[in-house]
Amino acid sequence: MKKIIVVLSLVAFAGTAFAADVIEMKKGVKFNHKAHQAAVTGGCKACHEKAPGKIEGFGKDFAHKTCKGCHAEMKKGPSGCKDCHK
Protein backbone atom coordinates (compact mmCIF):
# COMPACT_ATOMS: atom_id res chain seq x y z
CA MET A 1 0.00 0.00 0.00
CA LYS A 2 2.83 2.42 0.85
CA LYS A 3 4.43 1.76 -2.54
CA ILE A 4 1.23 2.72 -4.32
CA ILE A 5 1.00 5.98 -2.39
CA VAL A 6 4.63 6.82 -3.15
CA VAL A 7 4.19 6.12 -6.88
CA LEU A 8 0.99 8.17 -7.05
CA SER A 9 2.69 11.05 -5.24
CA LEU A 10 5.62 10.97 -7.65
CA VAL A 11 3.32 11.02 -10.65
CA ALA A 12 1.19 13.83 -9.22
CA PHE A 13 4.14 16.10 -8.53
CA ALA A 14 6.36 15.20 -11.49
CA GLY A 15 5.10 18.18 -13.51
CA THR A 16 6.12 20.66 -10.85
CA ALA A 17 9.56 19.11 -10.49
CA PHE A 18 10.34 19.60 -14.17
CA ALA A 19 8.63 22.95 -14.68
CA ALA A 20 10.81 25.79 -15.93
CA ASP A 21 11.62 28.60 -13.50
CA VAL A 22 10.91 31.37 -16.03
CA ILE A 23 8.93 30.85 -19.22
CA GLU A 24 9.40 33.30 -22.10
CA MET A 25 6.24 33.85 -24.11
CA LYS A 26 5.29 35.97 -27.12
CA LYS A 27 5.43 39.76 -27.16
CA GLY A 28 8.27 39.95 -24.60
CA VAL A 29 6.27 38.47 -21.72
CA LYS A 30 8.27 36.56 -19.13
CA PHE A 31 6.40 34.38 -16.66
CA ASN A 32 8.02 33.28 -13.39
CA HIS A 33 6.48 29.83 -12.95
CA LYS A 34 8.18 29.04 -9.61
CA ALA A 35 6.94 32.30 -8.06
CA HIS A 36 3.38 31.54 -9.18
CA GLN A 37 3.56 28.00 -7.80
CA ALA A 38 4.38 29.45 -4.40
CA ALA A 39 1.82 32.28 -4.50
CA VAL A 40 -1.27 30.78 -6.15
CA THR A 41 -3.86 29.20 -3.91
CA GLY A 42 -5.59 26.18 -5.38
CA GLY A 43 -2.39 24.60 -6.64
CA CYS A 44 -1.72 23.70 -10.25
CA LYS A 45 -5.41 23.48 -11.14
CA ALA A 46 -5.82 27.21 -10.58
CA CYS A 47 -4.18 27.67 -14.00
CA HIS A 48 -3.87 24.13 -15.38
CA GLU A 49 -7.51 23.08 -15.54
CA LYS A 50 -6.92 19.41 -16.40
CA ALA A 51 -3.44 18.58 -15.07
CA PRO A 52 0.10 19.95 -14.92
CA GLY A 53 1.53 20.56 -18.37
CA LYS A 54 0.66 22.81 -21.28
CA ILE A 55 -2.47 24.91 -20.67
CA GLU A 56 -5.12 24.02 -23.22
CA GLY A 57 -6.38 27.10 -25.06
CA PHE A 58 -3.62 29.34 -23.70
CA GLY A 59 -3.20 32.53 -25.66
CA LYS A 60 -3.83 36.26 -25.44
CA ASP A 61 -7.50 35.96 -24.50
CA PHE A 62 -6.83 33.35 -21.81
CA ALA A 63 -3.93 35.33 -20.33
CA HIS A 64 -5.78 38.63 -20.34
CA LYS A 65 -8.85 37.09 -18.68
CA THR A 66 -7.31 34.56 -16.30
CA CYS A 67 -3.96 36.11 -15.39
CA LYS A 68 -5.11 39.71 -15.12
CA GLY A 69 -8.24 38.55 -13.31
CA CYS A 70 -6.19 36.69 -10.72
CA HIS A 71 -3.84 39.64 -10.27
CA ALA A 72 -6.79 41.97 -9.71
CA GLU A 73 -8.45 39.52 -7.29
CA MET A 74 -5.25 39.04 -5.26
CA LYS A 75 -4.39 42.76 -5.54
CA LYS A 76 -0.83 41.94 -6.60
CA GLY A 77 1.03 41.30 -9.80
CA PRO A 78 1.09 43.20 -13.08
CA SER A 79 -2.19 44.28 -14.64
CA GLY A 80 -1.22 46.98 -17.13
CA CYS A 81 -0.03 46.35 -20.69
CA LYS A 82 3.51 47.61 -20.14
CA ASP A 83 3.79 45.69 -16.86
CA CYS A 84 3.94 42.40 -18.80
CA HIS A 85 4.88 43.48 -22.32
CA LYS A 86 8.38 44.91 -21.87
Q: What does the pLDDT read at residue 11?
A: 45
Q: What does the pLDDT read at residue 7?
A: 45
How many folded domains does the chain comprise?
Answer: 1
Amino acid identity at 53:
G
SS3 23: strand
pLDDT in tens, 47-80: 888 777 888 888 899 899 989 999 998 898 898 8
Task: Tell me the β-bridge partners of 22.
Answer: 32
Distance separating alpha carbons of residues 23 and 29, to the nearest angstrom:
8
Q: What's the CATH number where 26 sits?
A: 3.90.10.10
Distance separating alpha carbons of residues 72 and 4, to the nearest angstrom:
40
Distance separating alpha carbons of residues 3 and 83, to the nearest angstrom:
46
pLDDT in tens, 1-48: 555 554 444 444 444 455 679 999 888 899 999 988 888 877 888 888
Distance of CA 50 to the CA centre of its chain: 12
* Entry pTM: 0.63
Q: Give residue 44's domain range.
A: 2-84
